[in-house]
Structure 1
């Protein structure tokens, strides 16, 4: 009977390894929300890098944006597209956080990176070194607004199989 349990565990481990998907934009199937709406949060994960489909918060203290990936993922990198318009640009100094906690809207999760300057209409990639989590948050400390024209979350789902070594 032990050999059957060992065989079943080995098969499950092999199945889990073969089901791993390639790194792709996992935000497309997520649910986006933000601290306030000037333009809806979902516009930042619609798959369009164009300037006219940007999310944006109102001017407020510590505006934030979050995508719920619906399950835990391993995140390789985050790409952020900035607006082409100087009056909409609102990303400098924002922080990218990744984790499983929804405490403080997810803004207390571990930090992947701080966003420096992204030129108007440009896209910048931030290496998250395989961080794991269900939530990706972008928070911009201070009394400001937050505008995101597109957020691409490059990752893959994590498959959890017990007794798989």
Structure 2
């Protein structure tokens, strides 16, 4: 049974009901009589196209499916059921966008999640920071694409924490930091190690965590040390991975803030917060998912506070589009 127009708060993720009922669905084109957009919101998750419960566009540029909800909601997750009869790869690279505008058919609304590879017939739920909107778009950019969706379910007002957000699969997104320009607040000044602590070492594509191998960066002992990479292009950032130094720098990342934005004011330290770094084992790589998708040209890692500390990073990977 679908819940009506009132919003309800749920306190777990074992959701079985589509708590935001759809009024209708439309799509950029319709392949044949089995392919209506409405099939994506009919409550039937059958993933075999010939059974008549999936949407399907023509081959075209930038196909899309738009679901109109019964009102404006604070949407917190969207579940997608992929086609299950051998063509599930077609959805790879699709975007979930939410908002109140139908300009450009709704495809310019806020980007909240990226759909990576899904197994045939799989259902996956994408969770994100609450986003207000009446329209939920599945948008597949590119030439000669087909978009097929066998079910879309939309949930609102879930109680979430940043750790529960699932915006994307970072292993299918490019590391946009690789060709960026890196800077830092200072360079380790002592002896031979100074030559192994350059800012660019953290974006060389090498996660080696031994400072003496020349693939880590390290600042001097100072108040609020920082490291920053300026990307080649402004990007929508989904997550950032940091690799911790393995030797003699046990707290050189603990409590660091990852900030993303376009401003270089105060060395980029005032840009929006993506995530705060928890304690990470020596030599370990940890992925930090931003609490919401952030756009920007600069990614800054800072150890805040007035205490003199050293910041060391052995690789910074920035996953985005």
- Whether the TM-score (by the shorter chain) exceeds 0.5 is yes
Aligned residues: CA RMSD: 1.8
Cα distance in 2 for partners of 1:100, 1:77 equals: 17
2:279 maps to what in 1?
117
Shift of 1:91: 0.5
Q: 1:71: which partner in 2? A: 233
CA drift of 1:37 comes to: 1.1
* Distance of 1:102 and 1:139 partners within structure 2: 13
Picking from 145, 151, 165, the partner of 2:310 is 145
After the TM superposition, which segments of 4 or more aligned residues of structure 1 sit over 6 Å from their partners? none
Tell me the distance in 1 between the aligned counterparts of 2:272 and 2:230. Answer: 15
Q: Give 1 or 2: higher helix fraction.
A: 1
Alpha-carbon distance in 2 for matches of 1:89, 1:152: 20
Aligned: 1:46 with 2:204: yes
Q: 1:82 aligns with which of 244, 266, 273?
A: 244
Pick aligned residue for 1:32 from 182, 191, 204: 182
TM-score, normalising length: structure 1: 0.80
Whole-Å Cα distance in 2 between the matches of residues 75 and 44 of structure 1? Answer: 18
Q: Give TM-score scaled by structure 2 length.
A: 0.42
1:133 to 290, 296, 300: 296
| 1:124 Cα deviation after fit | 0.6
Which structure has the larger Rg over C-alpha atoms? 2
Which of 215, 236, 254 is equivalent to 1:92?
Answer: 254
* Separation in structure 1 between the aligned mates of residue 251 and residue 198 of structure 2, nearest angstrom: 16
CA distance in 2, matches of 1:88, 1:150: 16
SS in 2 for 1:104: helix
